[in-house]
Amino acid sequence: MSSAIKKMILFGLGLMGVALLVLSFRPEPLAVDVATVKKSDLDIRIQGEGKSRVRDIYVVSAPIRGRIARIESEPGDEVLADKTILARMEPMDPLFLDIRSAAEAEAAIEAAEASIKLAEAQLEGARAERDFALSEVKRNQELAKRGNISSRTLERAQIEVRRWGAEVSRAEANLEVARHQREVAQAKLIQPGEERVPSTCCILVKAPVSGVILRLLQESEGVVETGTALMEVGDPKDLEVVVDMLSTDAVKIKPGDKAYIEHWGGDKPLAARVRRIEPSGFTKISALGIEEQRVNVILDFTGPVEAYRTLGDGYRVEAAIIIDEATDVMSVPISTLFRTEDNWAVFVLRDGQAVVQHVILGRRNDTKAEVVSGLSVGDAVIVHPSNKIDDGVRVRLRS
């Protein structure tokens, strides 16, 4: 073997050794997860916590000041409008009379007794005059038949009968008035605890609408003032949802926007729609102690009642209100995006390498973003790129 051939063999072996040495120190490709760029529907949502409530709640109040009997009904009991008796009330016991008031009442009774005697005497006299006038009419009628008196005299006698008949009626009315005055005076002497007249024992408070009792505000027996709230009644099938949103989010919402009620305890989200955004906000302290301006947004259910029949008044829910949506747009997961200077970018997997690709974004939500330009459908982009990945770094799909 010539020396030239030996040199070539030794040179080749040296190159192979250097190549093996370089390959032994070359870093392994980084394992990555990728997502495929594809077209899909995209919606922008605003999340908020709220509660369900009966749309129309009727507060049943005490119609008079008096003593209410213990309410036996329970929350959840069904009621019928103008039929179901919700409560029974009795008038208040009379107040204790002082010496002067008692003396005045006793004097009023004596005066009423005297008025009764006077009215009885007047009635007796009026009846006597009426009876006499009747006898005169009969006598004059006999005389008129024989022609002994004129017809005018007979008419005058008949007028006297009617006049004294009216006097009898007036005397009877005066007697009735005097008797009632005596009853009024006697009623003023009724002391607390005395037995009441059965016909005035109680006032029945009936249900104003059909529905169920939502909550009792006055359960025990006791004295209540006029207008005291006793209970709340409503129809649990007629529900709405009130969600308190940050005022900066509420300005993006408009009536008619679609919404979904989530995390309410059921298996599926419930379809809803925005009915009203209240015009006045309020201040609320967050869990971090920060003052926030909030606005109530009212939602109506759009699905069948059976879907949310287990919900009641005051149940906690979460709402997602859709303020914008698009169909069949190219999108990528939010987890693939990162910032380079003032631009958005992703790592595209090409020929086993991570390649930086700048993109222009459109709409985006918490999970994905619309890609206006920079990518094509089918591109593989790296999800959750670590700080070890850079432009040109060798990568491989995670097994």
| Secondary structure of 135-180 in HEC code, one letter for each residue | HHHHHHHHHHHHCCCCHHHHHHHHHHHHHHHHHHHHHHHHHHHHHH
Arithmetic mean of pLDDT, 341-366: 91
Q: 72: how many CB neighbours lie within 10 A of its CB?
A: 11
- What topology is assigned to 28-40+327-397 in CATH? 2.40.420
Residue 27 has pLDDT above 70, yes or no: no
Task: Identify the DSSP state of 17.
Answer: H
pLDDT at 25: 54
CATH of domain 45-54+236-326: 2.40.30.170
**Reported confidence tier of residue 126, pLDDT bands at 50, 70, 90:** confident
**Reported confidence tier of residue 296, pLDDT bands at 50, 70, 90:** very high
**185 three-state secondary structure:** helix
Percent of the chain with pLDDT over 90: 49
pLDDT at 148: 72
CATH 2.40.30.170 spans which residues of the chain? 45-54+236-326
Tokens at residue 115, please? 């008025």
pTM value surpassing 0.75? no
Q: 9: how many CB neighbours lie within 10 A of its CB?
A: 11
pLDDT at 216: 94
Arithmetic mean of pLDDT, 10-17: 70
DSSP 283-334: EEE-TTS-EEEEEEEEEEE-S-GGGGTT--TT-EEEEEEEEEEEEEEEEEEG
CATH 2.40.50.100 spans which residues of the chain? 58-93+206-234
pLDDT at 29: 81
| pLDDT, mean over the chain | 86
CATH top-level class of 99-187: mainly alpha
CATH 1.10.287 spans which residues of the chain? 99-187
pLDDT at 199: 46
CATH 2.40.420.20 spans which residues of the chain? 28-40+327-397
CATH of domain 58-93+206-234: 2.40.50.100
- Strand 203-206: give its sheet, edge to edge: 203-206, 85-91, 66-68, 222-224
pLDDT at 119: 84
CA distances from 282 to 246, 278, 376 (A): 10, 10, 47
**Reported confidence tier of residue 162, pLDDT bands at 50, 70, 90:** confident
Arithmetic mean of pLDDT, 212-238: 92
Residue 193 has pLDDT above 60, yes or no: no
Residue 24 has pLDDT above 90, yes or no: no
Arithmetic mean of pLDDT, 365-376: 92
The answer to whether the beta carbons of residues 46 and 320 sit under 8 Å apart is: yes
